[in-house]
Structure 1
Amino acid sequence: MKVLILTHGTRGDVQPYAALALALRTAGHEPVLAAPAAMASLAEPYGLAFAPVHDGPNTLIDDPEILEAIETNYRGLRGKKVALRVMRRSKPLMARVFDDMADVAEDGADLVVHAPGIPAQHFAERLGVPAVPATMQPVWVPTAAFRNPMIPVPLPRSLNRASYLPIKLMLRSFGGVADRLRAGRLGLPRRRGRHDILRRPDGRPATVLQAFSTSLLPGGLDYPSWVHTTGFWFLPAASGWSPPRELAAFLADGPPPVYVGFGSMAGTDPVRVGRVVTEAVRLAGVRAVLATGWGGMRTGDLPEAVFPLEQAPHDWLFPRMAAIVHHGGSGTTGAALAAGRPQVLCPFVADQPFWAARAHAAGVAPAPQPQRRLTPHGLAEAIRRAVTDRGLARAAAQTGERVRAENGVQRAVQILETLA
């Protein structure tokens, strides 16, 4: 079975799809991962077939307006105006991405798996094969159990389902680009419901994969049978990978350190974030590994108790940590859960506050430390609790066992094998 996997975004967005590609190949299938050219390093160590596409909105990541949006989570009137400007600037860039993906789709496939923000259902319709949306966040399929995580304000429970409508409207913003593709190179007619990723061309529901664990979601879930919440998708360390000698020596030279890393997230002042983190580590009296390689913070000279790290596979690194401080992205949250270690979540934007709240509710993390209110003393206190609280450690270990047992990516492969 040839499976075309289409995704976009930064490393945390793309990595789970690389995990799916690897699992599909291990099961004897032929996956092709189409993702931003800058993400090729995720496929190369595993020998995965990789089709580079334009980096699209990733090219805006250092733009001051984007950085402000990340830091404020689009709050207030100004935040909404910034969101609209970002969307307008992203449209022509995403048009180039979609065009590149159309080129890749011309080579054919038996199945198309795609990130929900990619209108890959049109490519699948042209090929006459199923399209399977695969989401890393619970924001695409409505449920009455909780409001859309992308909505940053409380709502009455009665409005939970309605809160998922803005996501549909956001996808419609790229409808003109998709319609030009359909009418042009894809040669497809206009039809009702063509932009709904949750419906097949004949109107029946599409199979949906949700690559996260129900163990972190509220009770009372009412997802329909065609929605499969598989568990998180983890990309293992590449065969033959070994830690840098300096990192191995640091880990062996004292008690387990605390990991601190914010992925590709960076607000308007990553230098300030770096200062807050290093001071918090000092106040907490812990050793630390600071992952600075993806832009979340910038640091100057560091004390001996702090090791600067560009990156390392989470499945190798996290189990060796005393606690894990991160931004609350879905992939990092899942990896920290699987490691069975307490967490401290410092969310920036989008679904990150949701995961932070859910980790706290599950008893694996202290109260969230939002980036916009991050202080050395507040972060230090959260780190101290994560390292010393036996209740957090016990809950983290138990949750880790459940998350590892799910083997989400293997379950996803089994579901896909029933479709083609």
Structure 2
Amino acid sequence: MTTQSVLENLTAKLPLGVCVLNDQMEVLYWNDFFADRLNISSDDVKGQNLLTLFPNEAKYLKKKINSVFVLNNASFSYWEHRPHVFLFSSSRPITGEETLMYQNIEFLPLDVTDNKVKTVCMIVQDVTELASYYQGQKELSEQLSQEHNALQELNRKLEEAQNQLLQADKMAAIGQLAAGVAHEINNPIGFINSNLQSLEDYAVKLLKLVNFYEKVVHKTQNKTFIALQKDMQERMKYQFIREDMPELVAESIDGINRVSEIVKSLKAFSHVDSSEWQYADIVEGIESTLKIANNELKYNVEIHREYQQQLPKLFCQPMQLNQVFLNLIVNGAQAIVDKGHIYITVSANDNDYQVAIKDTGCGISKSAMHKIFEPFYTTKPVGQGTGLGLSLSYSIVQKHKGNLVVTSEPNVGTTFTVILPILTPEQLLPEASAPA
């Protein structure tokens, strides 16, 4: 057997995906790793366009591969950033469980002539086992952290005679945290955003200036100048930079805006800039709470909103009402096993507000319905709940002279309705208006 045939056989049998492409994105070769998963042999796929074969990831692949052709440098795709570029399956070595393959991909310049890349080699590595290990470690760490926090919370609550005092301390801590975050992050965000806006303006002006110079050079009809211009632009990869630079700046500005929104939502959630009792917009509080709870909702819960128009502001403790909404929304999300819906309805009349939060989760049994507002009662596994969420929520609503009503049907869903009377400060806080 010749050395070449040995190398060809080795490449074909490698536990890596190997695919060679020309500058038209046409497949020149791929090994058994690709052939077995797509049921297309290397001979049959030869000459087909990679972007046509994988249309859903065409834009991403094109950008990565073009960067190799243009810049003559390797490009990479890591599983943490893009877990499943190719929708291949992978079998766990011990359990045999089939799961989507996590991949690291390396794009390498292969055939380079006169500093110009002719072909690119794409190497796909199956890192599902490594990714599963890291994810498992992360989940275990989060679970241990949650259990530790839950135990600390429970110990504090057992030492406190009044749950309301603990809740006030907790919300004050959140308020201080939000104030610190807003102060520490808003300033750098402000000047970064301002700089990026200026950079975007400069980039546009510079590109216009270069375009003007191009037109001037061409108007001279001087072949030497035109040739020098073309050579310099090719060596500087000007065409690629001109297309890529505005996109990079736009993505950076979008990222800064997203961070600003997160800080704004945290600040609005805890109302760090205002006194405890105040007139507040209930819908604004719910929207801020939804952003805070987004991590619990984004994978399996679809939110439906129905807000009455022109709702009046309510005199209340917005920080504590936000905590009630957070408890009810998160409980609803946790009651949904796979995918489901949460419906939030807000309405008001002359006498009271009604905030209904309905989920399509597993529901509450009749035996549990009589206990759900009792302190420390929970149906969650040990370490996943203290049993104080609904009890504290009920206490907060009572402090607002309101009521918390629940209706539920097993395997259908649960609806919690927060009823808050529209009262004046004197009616809610008679001690504040009493003569000294």
Same fold (TM over 0.5): no
Q: Which structure has the larger Rg over C-alpha atoms? A: 2
Q: Comparing both structures, which one devotes a greater share of its residues to helix?
A: 2
Could you tell me the TM-score, scaled by structure 1's length?
0.21
Q: Comparing both structures, which one devotes a greater share of its residues to strand?
A: 2
